[in-house]
Amino acid sequence: MSAMTFVWLSVLLVCVHADCQWQFGNSCYQLLTGKMTFDEALQACSAMGAGLVVPNSQNENQFIWQMMKNHLPSDGRVWIGCTNKHTEGQWMYAADTGKECKFIDWAPNEPNGQDYGGEDCAQMLDGKAGKWIDIGCSAVAPVICEYYSSLEMTCLQADADGRFA
């Protein structure tokens, strides 16, 4: 019997979206520091082929808060893509998917819009350790857009020596 030789090849793929500033799991994030209303934020993200950020877990929420802490003033806030515009008290994805925002991380005594009315949009606040508040949709804040892995990405494949083709 002849000896068989096995050659193990390692393949490394590096995939990045053109506007990806940060990555967590299967998502890329782009911070837009200009302040805009909730509807303007939705339009800005949509124009980039992205959606307004919606954390789906405590870990993702912490990751986004760390981005805020590192790149916005200490009193920073960003829009979260959840709204109860259509049904008071029912927080849904703003992207009109008909899906409920399953993960919510409200600050103490929030949301309070049910008591005061007109606070139909969500923001994450640095000063509240990344917790959320409900606020009027006409308020202004910076935006974090989220790209999902299903979007077209540029991928580079490395050869066995680690050089990119």
| CA–CA dist 154, 128 (Å, integer) | 37
pLDDT above 70: percentage of residues in the chain: 76
What pLDDT does residue 164 have?
45
Q: Give CA angle at 91 (87, 93), nearest 5°.
A: 110
What pLDDT does residue 52 have?
95
Place of tokens 């949009």: 121
What pLDDT does residue 2 have?
47
| CA–CA dist 64, 26 (Å, integer) | 14
| CA–CA dist 151, 62 (Å, integer) | 24
| CA–CA dist 110, 52 (Å, integer) | 21
Answering whether pTM is above 0.85, one says no
Q: Identify the residue with better confidence: 59 or 95.
A: 59
User: Across-strand partners of 78?
Assistant: 124
* Beta carbons within 8 Å of 5's beta carbon, 6+ residues apart: none
Q: Give the chain's length.
A: 165
> First-to-last CA distance in the chain?
38
The encoded tokens of residue 155 equal: 């991928």
What pLDDT does residue 9 have?
34
pLDDT tens profile 2-47: 454 433 333 333 444 455 788 898 899 999 999 999 999 999 999 9
* Cα 10 versus chain centre, distance: 32
What pLDDT does residue 16 have?
47
Q: 74: pLDDT confidence band, cut at 50, 70 and 90?
A: confident
Q: Which fold has domain 22-149?
A: Mannose-Binding Protein A; Chain A (3.10.100)
Q: Is the pLDDT of residue 149 over 70?
A: no
